A and B are shown apart, each in its own frame.
Chain A
């Protein structure tokens, strides 16, 4: 389904179960991209801005999409999103919020800070797999990124 596997997906998720389920959903949908996992907001920012353990990374090499959980230890998802949008080097990256929250307020906050999509993580795994399939189809295949145009 997806040809170009060189593009990285950055998954920002602190819950190891959710990480395993998300990876399984990728696999089931034949999404073979490299997945980098950040366990909290600080790790995500380190990866994106090439600091800390990612100091040697090339900052030009941006992920194809960022899946961002909102409720994270240390730096929250919304703060990560804000930092991504504030920096010229990252502000155009597709950020998809993946969260358990159905609260209207979280949704509004996410969109007003510039999230590209807001996906609720369903409890039902079949629905979850389908949500990941649609995400992959849109952001990895159909959508033409700012650097490809």
Chain B
């Protein structure tokens, strides 16, 4: 199969997956509403007949339902953020990174990692999707440097095997590559517990889908306590 043919097939499959996802998630909401609504109804109407332990169980039922709902939202959001027509154009990624970083400053109050951006990094990619991609990678770096001393984030390019790859590097928590293999970029895959870092685990999955729509590759290098570098390249690299 020619590369263009492959890409067309991939786009078709992605579209099909989005439609399936939409159908499934729509149908999941109704039973979730029943789980939440009737647990609440029991708590309100029969609260006197249930002791504190029973009430705690019902609250857990409600929380479970809400969590499933958050996952559904995450999936739909991911699908929405990665679809749409692909209109590649030359982009100034350095400027985009600086711009996104300024937005993140407002989202993470009290956290201000040092940002270093290589000048003039340019790639031919879809503007909207690339913005989302860089937002996910930078947000990841912001999140996992929140507990670092002298947190720093770097954006730049390297040449690997004769091809240009962009990278976002942080000196954050990092993770054990041994556990990440094969599923770091999967939906809802998280390398840290809920009590350490929040989030659903859709950021890198979204990033991978955007890169795959551009026919490129994304990969990570990480070491616990040292930091993480996320690399990506498109076909042109």
Task: State whether these chains interact.
Answer: yes
Interface set of A (CB-CB < 8 Å, partner B): 15, 17-18, 20-21, 24, 71, 100-103, 121-126, 128
Are B26 and A18 in contact, CB atoms less than 8 angstroms apart? Answer: no
Q: Which of B30-38, B179-187, B208-216 contacts A (4 or more CB under 8 A)?
A: B30-38
Are A17 and B22 in contact, CB atoms less than 8 angstroms apart? Answer: no
Q: Which residues of B contact A103 (CB under 8 A)?
A: 22
Report 17 cross-chain contacts, Cβ distance below 8 Å, ordered by A residue.
A15-B30, A17-B31, A17-B34, A18-B33, A21-B33, A24-B37, A24-B41, A71-B26, A100-B26, A103-B22, A123-B65, A124-B36, A124-B66, A124-B69, A125-B37, A125-B40, A126-B40
Chain B, 18-75, CB within 8 A of any chain A CB: 22, 26, 29-34, 36-38, 40-41, 65-66, 69
Are A17 and B33 in contact, CB atoms less than 8 angstroms apart? Answer: yes
Tell me the complex Cα distance, A71–B30, Å. 11
Are B29 and A21 in contact, CB atoms less than 8 angstroms apart? Answer: no
Tell me the complex Cα distance, A124–B67, Å. 11
Tell me the complex Cα distance, A21–B31, Å. 12
Are A121 and B22 in contact, CB atoms less than 8 angstroms apart? Answer: no
Measured CB to CB, the nearest residue on chain B to A22 is B37
Tell me the complex Cα distance, A122–B72, Å. 13
User: Does B76 sit within 8 A of A, measured CB to CB?
Assistant: yes
Q: Which residues of B contact A121 (CB under 8 A)?
A: 29, 33
